[in-house]
Amino acid sequence: MRPFEYASPRDLSQASLLLNKTWGDSEILAGGTDLLALMKDDVVRPKRLVNIKEIKELRGINAGPSEIRIGALTTLAEIADNAAIMQNYSALAESVNEAASPQIRNLATLGGNLCQRPRCWYFRGGFGLIPKYEDGADMVEDGDNRYHAVLGNDGPAKFVSPSTIAPALIAYGAQVRISGPGSPRQIPLEKFFVIPKNESEREHDLRPNEIVTEVILPKPASTMRFGYYEVRQKKAFDWPLALAAVALDMDGNTVKSARIVMGAVAPVPWVPADAANFLAGKEIKEDTVWVAAQKSIEGSKALKHNSHKIWLAEVAVKRALLKAAGGTA
């Protein structure tokens, strides 16, 4: 591991001042479950680590009458075990319980999970976010791409968004709050994830000297139904090949509106609006669900070794929808 400076600020204003304005010069240390591994493998080489663990305002879960606020330093284990989360956001609790292993969930933070870097083995091998050969050829296109994107992969980015809890949060309409040198800003979590076009960009709408401070979830209406489903190679701790989180606003047995969010299939959590719009005014039945699932992967493009992910994505959407409607997944 390369030498680096270490700073441990006590408040957000100090933390922002300690973060450099250029990506890579400084990194935020929260749980450290991802960052330290990247540093040991010499993938990232920060000159300064800014430890934010001492900033108390970034911790805790605060449930109000109309929303719940989750601090960025709240661990995944704390989220999964919280009574308000389990009662009002069961699909989120399920997604968090499926994330990583118990040991990692006890350390990993919400902010760190949302800001983690891609699990693409080219990136993790030190070849960059958009790996290319010296002649400009795309390493992912020409190489082993069995776990890479099948949606949103028309540009140079072929990795998949690594957060498995982000799709559930987006299905619940989450907002993310960000602090920096200027005024704090708040954006829909869906817009927090972006597809980079070159190596100088990152996968998040976050500036180098900004910090994710909390996630805000509106309280679901009584007519809302939610479902979450992952497809994995094995039941034990593993990264999903495809996943889906869905939200259904129901009028009896009829869908008033729907939201579908897919994970592990694109460089960002993928929101197929046409598939969700198709469900409006319909009952959740086997044939209806399959049409919606097929619409959810419209525009998909398989790489040489990952065509199976398109089928698995369809299955994840179908089963999440049936789960949300109370059917058998």
**Per-residue pLDDT tens digits for 297-315:** 999 999 999 999 999 999 9
Confidence of residue 1 (pLDDT cuts 50, 70, 90): confident
What's the average model confidence in pLDDT over 147-160?
97
Per-residue pLDDT, 182? 86
- 171 and 266, same domain (yes or no): no
Residue type, 241: L
Question: What are the Cα distances from residue 36, in Å, to 28, 116, 157, 161, 244?
Answer: 11, 12, 24, 19, 29
Q: Residues of the chain with pLDDT > 70: what percent?
A: 99
CA–CA dist 217, 267 (Å, integer): 23
Residue 166 has pLDDT above 60, yes or no: yes
- Cβ-based neighbours of 81, under 8 Å, separated by 6 or more: none
- 74 and 175, same domain (yes or no): yes
DSSP string, 143-167: S--TTS-SSS-SSS-------SSHH
The position carrying tokens 């998949």 is 160
Tell me which residue of 163, 324, 166, 329 sits closest to 247, measured CA to CA. Answer: 324
Which pTM was predicted?
0.96
CA–CA dist 157, 178 (Å, integer): 25
* Number of separate domains in the chain: 2
Choosing from 218, 239, 264, the residue where a domain stops is 218
Residue 142 has pLDDT above 80, yes or no: yes
- Vertex 108 angle, CA 241 and 115, to 5°: 65
Choosing from 218, 248, 267, the residue where a domain stops is 218
Q: Residues of the chain with pLDDT > 90: what percent?
A: 94
- 228 and 211, same domain (yes or no): no
Confidence of residue 328 (pLDDT cuts 50, 70, 90): low
**CB 227: neighbour CB atoms within 10 A?**
26
Residue 235 — φ and ψ, nearest 5°?
Answer: -70, -35
First to last CA, the chain: 46
Indicate which CATH number applies to the domain containing 301.
3.30.390.50
Backbone region of residue 204 per phi and psi (left: phi > 0; alpha: psi in -120 to 50; beta: other values): beta
Q: What digits encode the pLDDT tens for the residues 231-275?
A: 998 877 789 999 999 999 999 999 999 999 999 999 999 999 999
**Residue 18 located in a structural domain:** no
User: Could you tell me the residue range of the domain that residue 187 belongs to?
Assistant: 56-115+161-218
Residue 329 has pLDDT above 70, yes or no: no
CA–CA dist 198, 38 (Å, integer): 20
Choosing from 170, 201, 218, the residue where a domain stops is 218
Q: What digits encode the pLDDT tens for the residues 167-197?
A: 999 999 999 999 999 899 999 999 999 999 9
- 79 and 200, same domain (yes or no): yes
Per-residue pLDDT, 230? 96
CA–CA dist 95, 199 (Å, integer): 30
**Residue 72 located in a structural domain:** yes
- 84 and 204, same domain (yes or no): yes
Q: What digits encode the pLDDT tens for the residues 54-82?
A: 999 999 999 999 999 999 999 999 999 99
3-state helix, strand, coil in the chain (%, to 5): 30, 20, 45
Residue 206 has pLDDT above 70, yes or no: yes
What's the average model confidence in pLDDT over 133-144?
94
